[in-house]
Structure 1
């Protein structure tokens, strides 16, 4: 039971900070928050992504490039230009690292106002940090894994954020339904996105990239947006007017 609880926490809480902070805030800036709130999100993203930590700067810039070049040769990740999911994710990893370490020139339109905390990112992205998290996960499994198949979840814990990326950047460009005709292959994965907390409404998002709510039709409940409404109500964030 402890293993399953850990996996659920890593899946959904890690995913929340990926979609709430990295995607809707860093990349698209669909809401505003204080500097303290921003720094708290950096820390919480590291806490719940652990060995998978993604920088708000690297993610935000790369995601803006994905929207600008969706399903073209310049797209950082596209099933149209990668032979399989593994080559796509390897190329994505390399582009992300080049952006995050500023090894390649990037147009200002992709970097403008993207939050960055360089000292924290350097620590959170370090090999030491990732190895410590990996050791903590492994120790947890040693203590609590009671049947052999529990160990099948350990690689998932190590690679949770890339797995989230694969689901959207690969599968949501191949499978699903569309509400809008767009210039790329983006699709909505599920009518009710319980799996990806709203990220699965990818076709909707590509049509209306500046909207905080990724759901459009009555049954498309964006769980992350529901949480954002509560945070907006209590004053922790300020949603942009649609």
Structure 2
């Protein structure tokens, strides 16, 4: 269905890391980066949960395009939390694990969120879940953040958001605007579409690079059907210092 989307509750949050399609060279470069090594090279393991971050709710969706999991997070502290790991375990009705995001080499956006503002909420999306059937339950554990950001995070906004029809289904497009003086790389746009308070579609888009004062186009592809739903978007800053 072409036309402008009903976009409400727009969340422009300072948060995390990379996601989406990228070259093998780009992935190798990320894995070599020391800031992501703890989450990727060794595989994610959360042994101590973060008392500052509440898991509000979790969801799992599946359609012909794949399986996605979302975790609604709330920062209960008055601090900006940087590089917060999120471990998920998606299970079937009998409690058997169908998927965990603990494999070495996962993209950083699939194992955590880079920044959560004090008192705010963020819906983190993992859209590359490999599961033969739709998970019935998702358990999420949030680990200790790497650091606390004491300076103001870069300001990233979304512009000219539209909903359009694509051969793969409904998409949301627009521009990511970098209003900071720091170049942003591998920005992720998280999308959660809700009806009646429940999530009906989940998606992610990626922008490889946005220079200070510039903007770049993004496209979000969904798992589930966002038609007629309220779509919340979040674009996290990836370079915070």
Tell me whether the two structures share a fold, i.e. TM-score over 0.5: no
Between Structure 1 and Structure 2, whose CA radius of gyration is higher? 1
Q: TM-score, normalized by length of structure 1?
A: 0.28
Pick the structure with more helix per residue.
1
Pick the structure with more strand per residue.
2
Higher relative contact order (CA 8 A, sep 6+): 2
Q: TM-score, normalized by length of structure 2?
A: 0.28
